[in-house]
Structures are given as structure tokens and as C-alpha cells.
Amino acid sequence: MKKLVSLLLVAVMSLSLMACGGRTLEDAFNADPNSKTAMEQLRNSVKESGMDMSVDIKGNTATYTITLPAMSEEQLEMVKDNFANMDTTEMTNEFSTGFDQIRDQIDGTVTVVAIYESAEGEEIFKVEAEVK
């Protein structure tokens, strides 16, 4: 479980580097030719862990969808229980830390959404953090 959170935090940090100089996160991402390369490298790193990840950036919202590998029903229930018992406050604080260096360069609030889903596409867990 901690590895999933760590991978997401790496993604947040990657976006924070991309956002320099843009008015919105989306503007910064689209203006930086290295941003798509960095995101593809991150996606490949996630794949090496047996998962898949997509990132959708609209305005100041970055939505990460992390697809877990196929697992038995029993394993899936354990993962759901782990997420249900997770302290999302710590995760939210980590999101905020990832955007500390760019807050003054982006207009408005940045929202990070992380959606974890099963290999079959069932949403297992969703967390949203606003970074002001």
C-alpha cells in the first residue's frame, strides 16, 4: 500500500516541476515539451510495479487513475480494507508538500485526485486534495 502512495507522490512531484511559469497546471504541462516525456517515464515506472496509470490534467486539476494488477477477490477485499483504514490526512499533506514550490506561479487552487481501480475497472478508492 505504501508503494502505491509513494508512486503517486512521485507523480505529484513531477507535475510540480512541470508547472513552473504557467497560469494553470494544464497550461504549464502543455507548454513544456519535457512534461509528457517525464509523465511517460513515470507511467513506465508504475508499470514495472505491475500497475498502470493515466493522468488527466484539466485546468488546475490533475487526476491520476492507478489500475491495480489482477488479483483474487480475497486480495481485492484486503486492498479495499487497507484503503478504508488509511489516514488520508497524511496523504493530503503529502500532496500539499509536492506543490509548495509552485503555489505562487499558478493562479487558483490546484486539485489532485487519485483514483485506484481494480483490473476490471471497479473504483476501489478515491482521494482528493486541494492545494492552495
pLDDT of residue 90: 73
Instruction: Report residue 29's pLDDT band, with 50, 70 and 90 as the boundaries.
Output: confident
pLDDT of residue 62: 87
C-alpha–C-alpha distance, residues 71 and 92, integer Å: 27
The answer on pLDDT for 14 being more than 60 is no
Are residues 49 and 3 in contact, defined by beta-carbon separation less than 8 angstroms?
yes
Report the first-to-last Cα separation within the chain, whole angstroms: 27
Q: Check residue 52 and report its DSSP letter.
A: E
Residue 85: strand, helix, or coil: coil
Q: Please, what is the average pLDDT of the chain?
A: 78
Domains of the chain: 2-131 (3.30.300)
pLDDT tens per residue across span 98-129: 555 556 667 888 888 889 999 999 999 998 98
Residue 57, beta-bridge partner list: 62
Q: Check residue 66 and report its DSSP letter.
A: E
